[in-house]
């Protein structure tokens, strides 16, 4: 790994009451990396939504499990990697709901899409899921091989 | 998060404080749905103390809106901070909910708003 990368990795219980800790970590690191308060808030929300989906959908609301968040800070971007040990997610099945369809749920995907530049699942990850979310410090077109929309609801 | 319910005249006001996320939104949901099924015909959520709201919190509010249609309750939100307002705007729900700047305006205008207009 390049020396220009700063990495923080935390493992956290799948208890929803700890989501605010994740948000705090993401916001702190994002501000350190040079993101504005507003962008840091948006990133914190995106990662919190993704983690919520890990808890709700991938781990089946089991609160005695664990997952990991790795935050990699590069000079031009931040990468957030969520790893869990749940059943494999089928990325093609994950779609945000249409906004005109006013009903509870289905907005998590949409918020993540709004707040990150790219997302992708590492299909080679052996046991569980490895989701990468990327946000550039300045606007940049996401790689065509990466897609947005990494959650269930 | 703290959720307190106040009853005044024909109004139920739910004071919500803190982060509304996957952990805390069930508390808001319980109070909101209970209020919708109660005797008062107007239910307002005071969001002036809400520092963060995520998709589960928004889902709770949408569920409340849907139930208000069934129970013929007038339902509104007031005191939204800029971040909560931005999230509702991003989800294009700012036109679906009756949103007021403060409690006084909410109490004055909730009766004259078109009920249930946000849902098909």
Domain extents in chain A = 6-136
What does the pLDDT read at residue A2?
Answer: 53
pLDDT tens digits, one per residue of B78-108: 999 999 999 999 999 999 999 999 999 999 9
What are the C-alpha distances in Å from A16 to residues A49, B22, B30, B56, B76?
11, 6, 17, 12, 27
Neighbours of B111 (CB within 10 A): 12
Question: Burial, B83: exposed, middle or buried (Cβ in 10 Å; 0-12, 13-18, 19+)?
Answer: middle
Where in chain B are the domains?
2-101
Tokens of A150: 């990494």
Domain A6-136: assigned CATH number: 3.30.565.10
Tens place of pLDDT per residue across chain A (153 aa): 556 899 999 999 999 999 999 999 999 999 999 999 999 999 999 999 999 999 999 999 999 999 999 999 999 999 999 999 999 988 777 777 777 777 777 799 899 999 999 999 999 999 999 999 999 998 654 444 444 444 444
What does the pLDDT read at residue A3?
Answer: 66
Tokens of B115: 């009920």
Domain B2-101: assigned CATH number: 3.30.750.24
Task: Decide if B56 and A52 are in contact by the 8 Å CB cutoff.
Answer: yes
Task: Decide if A108 and B118 are in contact by the 8 Å CB cutoff.
Answer: no
Distance (Å) from the alpha carbon of A5 to chain B's nearest alpha carbon: 30
């Amino acid at each position: 790994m390049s020396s220009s990368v700063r990495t923080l990795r935390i493992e956290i219980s799948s208890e929803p009451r700890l989501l605010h800790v994740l948000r705090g970590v993401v916001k702190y690191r994002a501000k350190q990396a040079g993101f504005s308060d507003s962008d840091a808030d948006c990133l914190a929300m995106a990662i919190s939504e993704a983690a919520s989906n890990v808890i709700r959908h991938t781990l089946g609301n089991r609160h005695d499990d664990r997952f990991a968040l790795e935050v990699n800070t590069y000079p031009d971007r931040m990468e957030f990697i969520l790893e869990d040990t749940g059943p494999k997610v089928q990325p093609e099945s994950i779609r945000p709901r249409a906004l005109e369809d006013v009903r509870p749920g289905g907005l998590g995907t949409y918020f993540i899409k709004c707040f990150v530049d790219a997302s992708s699942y590492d299909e080679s990850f052996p046991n569980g899921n490895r989701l990468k979310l990327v946000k550039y410090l300045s606007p940049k077109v996401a790689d065509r091989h990466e897609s947005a929309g990494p959650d269930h609801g | 998060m703290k959720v307190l319910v106040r009853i005044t005249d024909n109004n139920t006001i739910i004071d919500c404080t803190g982060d509304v996320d996957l952990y805390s939104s069930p508390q808001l949901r319980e109070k909101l749905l209970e209020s919708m099924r109660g005797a008062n015909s107007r239910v307002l959520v005071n969001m002036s103390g809400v520092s963060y709201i995520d998709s589960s919190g928004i889902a709770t509010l949408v569920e409340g809106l849907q139930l208000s249609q069934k129970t013929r309750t007038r339902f509104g939100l007031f005191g939204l901070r800029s971040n909560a307002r931005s999230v509702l705007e991003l989800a294009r729900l700012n036109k679906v909910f009756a949103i007021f700047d403060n409690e006084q305006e909410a109490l004055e205008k909730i009766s004259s708003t078109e009920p249930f207009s946000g849902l098909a």
